[in-house]
Amino acid sequence: MATYKQLLAEKEKLEAQLVEVREAEIAGVIEQIQSLMSQYELTVDDIAPKRRRGRPAAVGKAKAPAKEKVSLPPKYQDPKTGATWTGRGRAPAWLGKNRDKFLIAEA
């Protein structure tokens, strides 16, 4: 049975072999790719994937500044709680069907 230190030494040797074999295979693959590119007169742009989905990326354009939210003056007020509503969006429950009695008098 091998000891822990022996197994670690074997592991280091195998990892070194892996690195060497990978580098050799990569060099061969790169040579194949280069020969095929020259044979078919291809460029890197021909091989690189093209963007297909969504809007094209904005190149050199600055984003428009965000619009400031303008708060509207309240149009209705609940006399019991003092809660107000501008008249936009979903109506609050306290408003009920008769909105006229909750109208704020214009100054």
pLDDT by position in tens, the chain (length 107): 789 999 999 999 999 999 999 999 999 999 999 999 999 999 988 888 777 777 766 666 667 777 788 888 989 998 899 999 998 989 999 888 888 888 988 75
Answer whether residue 54 is part of any domain.
no
3-state class (DSSP) for residue 30:
helix
Q: Are residues 11 and 43 in the same domain?
A: yes
Answer whether residue 89 is part of any domain.
yes
What integer pLDDT is reported at residue 60 of this predicted model? 66
Q: Could you give the CA distance from residue 85 to residue 20 in angstroms, rounded to a whole number?
A: 74
| Number of domain units in the chain | 2
Answer whether residue 53 is part of any domain.
no
Answer whether residue 20 is part of any domain.
yes
What integer pLDDT is reported at residue 107 of this predicted model? 54
pTM assigned to the model: 0.41
Looking at this protein, which amino acid is placed at residue 83?
A: A
Q: Which residues constitute the domain of residue 26?
A: 4-47
Sign of CA dihedral 29, 31, 34, 36: negative
What is the longest distance spanned by two Cα atoms in the chain? Answer: 97
Answer whether residue 98 is part of any domain.
yes
